Structure 1
Amino acid sequence: MGFALPPGIEDLRLRVRAFVDDHVLPVEADRANWDDHGNIRLDILETLRARARAQGLWSPQAPAARGGMGLSVVARAVMYEEANRSIFGPVCFNCAAPDDGNIDVLSRLATPGQQDEWLQPLIDGKVRSAFAMTEPAPGGGSDPGMIQTRAERVGDGWRITGGKWFITGAAEAAHFILIARTDPTPAETRRHLTAFLFHRDQPGWEIVRRIPIMGPEEHGGHCELRFDGLEIPDRNRLLSVGDGLKVTQIRLGTARLTHCMRWLGLAKRAMGIAQDYIDERTGFGVRLADRESVRLMLGQVAHDIQIGRLLTMHAAWTLDGGGFARKEVSMAKLHVADALHRAADTAMQLCGAKGYSTDLILEWIYRYARQARLVDGASEVHRMVLADTYARERDDFWQWGT
């Protein structure tokens, strides 16, 4: 059992690190480059994206035949962690949510014709996308069995009625993946949902509002949508009727893990900022870095981050081997979400008032970190997944894998 990175992946890690150091962090440091929602300005972003393309660091999750890097999940784990040493890093490489997950699932499930129309523009960076699944109560959130948005057959197509909310990136998205109910019977059949593709210019739907959040926000915010007769031709159905739950499971499994990869980069960034500060700051005649209580705090953070890296890599290895990695992804998601929040909170505490101010990026990371225990399945849901898995597997829960 070896933990060293293969030479090609280690070279990729160093290239991404150098790009972030040379191009992204200097842009992040100047608040004039930020938009009103705490993200990079789109005009500045396009310049960095062009540089990333020129260096072959573009669309790591996409097939090489379509202009991506065609990376394994393990290689993505290495790249994404380095990319998110800057808060603006992933979007520069076209591997930020939600486009990252949408590119991945369309690459795996869409027909060649659908890939030409819906995937290729995403890989090329010409459009952005959104994944429309979550609904207001009594609709579906973590439980897709509760989804209420309806898709009804009309001729050679489907008419959509209902509503979604907290749809990330919707205000900037041109391409949407929509999960809707096509079978009115109870969800126990697991064939009650179907996935569809639609474009923002199609009539019959609207963005009701951009929902204010604690922030910061992805480009396009988090929006509430209303569907009132959106018509989707059957050729824009993804997989077969009734395969919607399969689509969500395939997309969200890897997407949850790529969140962890990026969050680890942010956690390491927070710890680095704290270490730089305590190395220089003194109080009552003692350098903060020399205080045992301070060292214990950062030691715990370092410990948490490394556990998260190992859990994430194990899940990535399982996915690359063809496994579903459901419990492995849930374990990584649970731990890394907590580790990110603890890293940001500890760093802010050690940096004092400066950490709370916008002089440092810690307050941004802290606000962002709180969502980690909610998005793509709340922590409580993942604990339930693990408990149910253990009840079935017992001691096999801890097998090393095959």
Structure 2
Amino acid sequence: MDFHISPLIEDYRSRIATFVEREILPLEADPSSYDEHENIAHGALQTTRAKAKAEGLWCLQLKPETGGAGLGRIGMAVCYEAMNRSIFGPVVFNSAAPDDGNMMLLETAGTPEQKERWLQPIVSGDVRSAFAMTEPHPGGGSDPSMIQTRAEKRGDTYVVHGRKWFITGAEEASHFILIARTSDDPRHGLTAFLFHKDQPGWRILRRIPIMGPEEHGGHCEIEFDGLEIPKKNVLLGEGQGLKVTQIRLGPARLTHCMRWLGLSKRCVEIAQAYAAERTGFGQRLADRESIQLMLGDLALKIEIGRLLVMKAAWALDQGSFARKEVSMAKIHVANLLHQAADTGIQINGARGYSKDTVLEWIYRYARQARLVDGADEVHRMVLNRFLTSEGSNFWSWPVTDGGTLATSA
């Protein structure tokens, strides 16, 4: 297995790292850079985004014809990790959820007309977007087959009734991707729709208060009461909603992991710097075996996470849905992020618990990682399902043979 990256990817990684150090990290230390929900304020965001665009570091995940750099999933793994050395990094480069996943979905599944109407404004940074799938009980969450929001077809128009919640970014989104039920068919009962915030027939009931810092637009509960969506705004065709979720959610889960690795490394960086200068009882913290064991354990787990993410990225680039690989990465990296933030705070002591560093921000943010895009337990169930069906082939290696792929346990 060759883990070398191309000179092109390394060039982007290096430029991103320099940009984060020079332009974004100083914003974290300035209280005026934060909005009321502890994300980067709009003024600072727009200024820094303009600089990122000017340096050719914008939407790198997309194809060149869409306005990106065509890095592929492997290149994204390298670059996203570098972007999220800062808590503000991904959104500056237009690589943050939910816009990131929505753009990649529309690039893959949209018609030329849909890409022009719904994708390009997100690519340019003129609008934000949201993906409306999750519902309150008894509706669908991790199990999309439970979705109850319905879209009734009336001629060339669909009329939507139902509720969604924890819809990330909804309060500031203009473009929405909605998953709703159009029939009771177990495989083809869901359909994906596109709608604009100014269309009547829907409303935000509330911005749900959460434990951690929030993405722009928060996490909202939404009600649909007669929203009309024309047939031309159906994505991939009626009954293809489950396929749409598969196209979007697998890569989106992995991009979370890519970014979380960057945050985990930042926690280690802050802990190392403090341990190197802080002394107690006649000894630097960095010279204490207990501290060395804590940091060494994190270094090991971060590298394991990077390998899991890179294998999943490789599989996605080969055209696989990579369900096993993504689930493994999601479980490991989500728990790693929580441990990294906790360990960073522990080593920094009261300083880590304060707002003098971003450790407490990351710690509050990290708890959602084990829930978003499928809880740990759901992904473990997925892995057990594969283990049960595949047996020893669960651990098989892909084998090349005359240009074709086989597998070997």
Distance 1:226 1:362 in 2: 36
1:17-69 C-alpha deviation (Å, 9 max, x unpaired): 00101101111211111101010011110111111111111012222112222
The correspondence of residues 67-216 of structure 1 with structure 2, limited to 5 A, is: 67-183=67-183, 185=184, 189-216=186-213
1:283 to 2:276 alignment = no
- Tell me the CA shift for residue 362 of structure 1: 0.1
8 Å Cα contact 1:158/1:234 also seen in 2: yes
Q: Which residue of 2 is the match for residue 239 of structure 1?
A: 236
8 Å Cα contact 2:203/2:223 also seen in 1: yes
| TM-score normalised according to structure 1 size | 0.98
The correspondence of residues 324-363 of structure 1 with structure 2, limited to 5 A, is: 324-363=321-360
Q: Which piece of structure 1 moves more, 131-140 or 61-70? A: 61-70
SS in 1 for 2:220: strand
Distance 2:305 2:390 in 1: 23
Distance 2:219 2:107 in 1: 25
The CA RMSD over aligned residues, in Å, is: 0.8
Q: Which residue of 2 is the match for residue 36 of structure 1?
A: 36
SS in 2 for 1:372: helix
- Tell me the CA shift for residue 197 of structure 1: 0.2
1:377 to 2:392 alignment = no
Distance 1:175 1:2 in 2: 40
Q: Which residue of 2 is the match for residue 252 of structure 1?
A: 249
Distance 2:28 2:292 in 1: 29
Distance 1:322 1:242 in 2: 22
8 Å Cα contact 2:66/2:107 also seen in 1: no
Query: 1:263 aligned to 260, 265, 271, which one?
Result: 260
Distance 2:170 2:250 in 1: 21
| TM-score normalised according to structure 2 size | 0.97
1:232-283 C-alpha deviation (Å, 9 max, x unpaired): 0000000121110110011000000000000000000000000000101111
8 Å Cα contact 1:61/1:103 also seen in 2: no
- Tell me the CA shift for residue 385 of structure 1: 0.2
In structure 2, the gaps of 5 or more residues are 399-404
1:166-197 C-alpha deviation (Å, 9 max, x unpaired): 000000000000000001x2x6x311100000
Q: Which piece of structure 1 moves more, 41-50 or 63-72? A: 63-72
Q: Percent identity?
A: 65
Distance 2:332 2:379 in 1: 10
What number of residue pairs does the alignment pair up?
Answer: 399
- Tell me the CA shift for residue 4 of structure 1: 2.1
Q: List, as ranges, runs of 4+ consecutive aligned residues in structure 1 with deviation greater than 2 Å.
A: none
1:142-173 C-alpha deviation (Å, 9 max, x unpaired): 01011000000112110000000000000000
Letter aligned with residue 176 of structure 2: F
Query: 2:363 aligned to 358, 363, 366, which one?
Result: 366
